[in-house]
Structure 1
């Protein structure tokens, strides 16, 4: 389920509880889990990360994998934990031999000190919005987003005031 205390571990515990699935879970670091999956020492692994994740893409060159659709559990997760989970799609071909399917999306937040000057936060926002195509690799388009909806979707964490002002200036 990911390293103990990690976001992946927390998601896994919540996911299996809401799905009503009992698992014999081990907490492994990502690289260790990939090696254990390749060596057939574990049956499955849960990770939270960008798609395609390079080490998993590399694994598919030697080891067939399957991804399980998880999006049906999102409504129960949102009901219990709020809007921190989204239904997202893994595109067809993101991993060798794996078709498109729905899964769970979790936002990654750029967290700053409350003392960060508004003009610095605004400059970061402008960079993210104006250079989004350069910041998201072509193979990740559709699974990693730098658009207005996803950039301002930080609930329950409030946007820094300078960042909020920059979004308003850029998009009304």
Structure 2
């Protein structure tokens, strides 16, 4: 990797799972943890086995942060001499930039953002030197509101106060593309409030935002909280998946949020879905790539105690990602178990 991170500092926002105490001992770092030297996307020294690593995750209201904390705790326990800290971020776009600068060595990112980073498109001015440790789980688009707003379709968002997601998040990228597919101008046709999922839920509850977008695993904690306090409405987006895939790439497809995933959701909700990729720089030591991949996929039961998204871990299909190269160390592991 480009540099070794500095000594981790305790996070200011603590994990809200039952494993919080254990994770904080070994897995959680501050917002600036793992800074080290920053440099260009192509420079620096590759990360070798052992030593401190920073894992760029997401906000505390989503899946990335608690699930990333569980993975960090697992790697710190199982890989001798390795300590992994988690960093709270605005998620995918931020995470790719942290990898490029050397401030993080491992990151979660959604498929559309990963493809942009590999190709040097949209947010990214040049291709980033990254590779995949595998497709970890699928992220489901949630367009959520409450029954009292009367919003039931994407078209109904016109003229409303909407949070497409935090700046620098995959949720924002996906939200804007969905609105465009539905015939809305995401800059002009809504009143934008760029908030993370937890902040969006709070804004819906206090009436300052009408609806929000979120792309994440099932269930998402912040939306669980909203469903428990109001009549949750999930707005369907699955009808736009084919058009988005044709325009942008095969990392968009349609699937359903199963019925009863959230309180007061009696029917399945068709949504745009995209794979969630575990990403590292392509100059990471291949032995370390293989060790990280093996440890995650061979400890599924432990990770299931952190988040249900671990149910989707499958080494037989994790390397089936067409828009980014699988890291050679990860590929060696997947080949060994195929």
How would you bin the TM-score normalised by the shorter chain?
Answer: 0.7 to 0.9
Matched, 1:8 2:171: yes
What's the CA shift for 1:48? 1.0
Matched, 1:100 2:100: no
Which runs of at least 4 in structure 1 moved beyond 6 Å after TM superposition?
none
Closer, same or farther in 2 for the Cα pair 1:43/1:67, shift >3 Å?
same
Unaligned runs of 5+ in 1: none
TM-score, structure 2 normalization = 0.46
Computed over aligned residues only, the root mean square deviation of the Cα atoms, in angstroms, reads 2.3
2:216 to 49, 52, 66: 49
2:333 to 156, 166, 171: 166
Give a deviation string over 1:67-104, Cα, whole Å, max 9, x none: 12211111111101112223232122111011322212
Matched, 1:74 2:237: no
Higher share in strand:
2
**Map of 1:152 onto structure 2:** 319
What's the CA shift for 1:115? 2.2
Give a deviation string over 1:130-150, Cα, whole Å, max 9, x none: 222332459736x96212465
Unaligned runs of 5+ in 2: 1-163
Which has the greater radius of gyration?
Answer: 2
Closer, same or farther in 2 for the Cα pair 1:153/1:15, shift >3 Å?
farther
Aligned length: 170
What's the CA shift for 1:46? 0.4
Equivalent residue of 1:84, what SS?
Answer: coil
Higher share in helix:
1
